[in-house]
Amino acid sequence: EASFDNENNVAEFRGRVVVKDPQFTLTCDTLTVKLAKDRGGIEVADARGNVIVVQELQDPKPGQQKAIGRAGHMSYKPASGDVTLREWPSIQQGINNQVATEAGTVMYLKSSGESRTVGGSKTVISDTAKPHE
């Protein structure tokens, strides 16, 4: 389902929403997009419900892995390329998984692949190596 509010330059998409952008791939339940006043691009995009964002790094540094963010709410501002995750967010990069321990924790995922967490969280490291026999 899609609707557009012409007066306020807002588009809303509902259902199993999938967005493929050069910066990331996003899936969510609802996506609200606010267009710039001149409609020359997106001012901000807000995703809600079962948000999963997979960051696509354009020029990854050696050893740098793509990031997978999960949350109840995500905001994206194309001007900076940064993603903000709220409502029990988590960010997984390789074997490292940063997980919120409080509902109010906020995680920022920069377009460079760097992340920052504000609020309670824990790091879970999953060793996926096979045991030596």
Nearest to 34, CA basis, from 12, 56, 55: 12
Please state the pTM of the whole predicted model: 0.84
pLDDT score of 63 more than 70: no
Nearest to 44 by CA among 71, 21, 78: 78
119 φ/ψ sector (left φ>0, alpha ψ -120 to 50, else beta): left
* Region 95-105 average pLDDT: 93
120-129: b (≥16 Cβ within 10 Å) or e: ebeeeeeeee
The pLDDT, as a whole number, for residue 115 is 87
